[in-house]
Amino acid sequence: MRPITTGDSDLVKNLNLGIVLDLIREKGSLSRASVAKITGMSRSTCSIIVDQLIASGLVVESGKDASTGGRKPILVRINHDAGMVIGVKIMREKVVAAIVDLKGEAVITAEEEVGEPDGIAPYLKSLVKIIRRLVRSEKAREGKKLLGIGIGISGLVDFDSGISIDSSITHWKNVPLRAILKKEFALPVYLEKDVNTFAIGEKWLGIGRAMDNFICVTIGRGVGVGIIINGSVYRGSHHGAGEFGHVKVSDATDAPICSCGRKGCIEAFASNPAICDYVQKTLRRGEKSILKKGELTIEAILAAAKKGDPTARAAFQRAGRYLGYGVANLINLFDPEAIIISGEGTVAGEFILPEMENAIRENSIYGLHEKVKRIPLYFEDNMWVRGVATLVVREVFKIPL
């Protein structure tokens, strides 16, 4: 169970700290008086909070503003030199990691192939190897302090204890990653569901900065969502929020089997492996295509779709349709300000997204599809990096999200 902030005054102080920090980050630089004016807090309260942030090293003074009479007010800004973090993303076949500055930019990246291992030992070996390499890269860090390690992984994650409870992709069960890595590196370690790190990064540094309620949908090797409600990430009462890929959208007898072992999940239709499997089955039936039976990659199918291949295009359109059924359900359930769609699967967005939109229009109620924005963010390799950087910074400096 996560420790509860005791006392109403402590809770308010933490919330106010987050509000002031977010405001300074958003505006670039502000005076204490401006912070008070915008937030509605008293000048003395704002001054105390800003002083706390300066003492933590996360905020620094940055010159003086123009005077409106009397002394020139001193400006403060986020201290992007306060340190760096290590961000790690665990996938089925590999581990990817980066040293990340406080702007959310990857300074140096590295990856280790894992192959198709059984059990946790090969992952741990690759994890420790890649993190050790980054810890020792003093030149890349330029002497800046490492604040901690943030790890994104699929499946059920107990954020508070740092345990990977279950994952249909890595097939881990109750792996205490935080304890293992903290003992190895003597640094703070934070474990989070990978799509939640993406949502946190969008809220802190990305397109979600101006929104309090939005949902991030990621498509690719798997399908998941990160949920931001009233400015905070929603993890669920039992760590299960966001398992969007395992929402059932078909009970047909021939519905495909998902990585979770069940039939008819969104992920069984809309993930990259599902698209490849569908094309394989279509080719076995003798459908005409420039693609050949055998081992297929999502890149080969996308290349064929761009050349007009009907089988390849039909596979992406089918994925888009079932994805749209799921997104329509999200709209009907949450009525968010926006649905942000990203992940490596968006490289095929020109074929997936139009069919997704058709399904959303047909299945959302009360015209909500006209009000809830859908924002595609075409995939970049380091998009997840911003989230793990934000995760570590917020936890190290005790800033609520």
* Cα gap 88→59, rounded to integer Å: 26
pLDDT value of position 90: 86
Query: Residue 160: helix, strand or coil by DSSP?
Result: coil
C-alpha 184 chain-centroid distance? 25
For the chain, the structural domain boundaries read 8-78, 84-203+383-396, 206-376
Name beta bridge partners: 166.
156, 173
HSE-CB of 56 using CA atoms within 13 angstroms: 21
Question: DSSP letter at 296?
Answer: -
DSSP string, 117-170: -SSSHHHHHHHHHHHHHHHT-HHHHTTPPEEEEEEEESSEEETTTTEEEE-TTT
Amino acid, res. 191: L
Backbone region of residue 63 per phi and psi (left: phi > 0; alpha: psi in -120 to 50; beta: other values)? left
Contact predicate 76/54, CB 8 Å: yes
pLDDT value of position 366: 95
Contact predicate 29/75, CB 8 Å: yes
Rounded-to-10 torsion of CA 118, 159, 226, 243: 50
Hunting for tokens 């079932």 — which residue is that? 322
**CATH architecture for segment(s) 84-203+383-396:** 2-Layer Sandwich (3.30)
Q: Which of 78, 103, 57 is nearest to 201 (CA)?
A: 103
Distances (CA, A) of 105 to 108, 177, 266, 374: 9, 25, 32, 25
Asked if the 8-78 domain carries CATH number 3.40.50.720, the reply is no
* Cα gap 351→313, rounded to integer Å: 7
pLDDT value of position 398: 65
CB atoms within 10 A of CB 336: 21
Phi, psi for residue 214 in degrees, rounded to 5 = -155, 165
* Cα gap 383→104, rounded to integer Å: 9
The 10s digit of each residue's pLDDT in 298-322 is 999 999 999 999 999 999 999 999 9
| pTM recorded for the entire structure | 0.83
pLDDT value of position 1: 35
The 10s digit of each residue's pLDDT in 151-186 is 998 889 999 999 999 887 778 889 999 999 999 999
First to last CA, the chain: 17
Burial code (b: 16+ CB inside 10 Å, e: under 16) for 151-165 equals bbbbbbbbbebbbbb
Q: CATH topology of 84-203+383-396 equal to that of 206-376?
A: yes
Domain 206-376 fold is: Nucleotidyltransferase; domain 5 (3.30.420)
Edge to edge, the sheet with strand 173-175 lists 156-158, 163-166, 173-175
Residues of the chain with pLDDT under 50: 1-9, 11
pLDDT value of position 11: 46
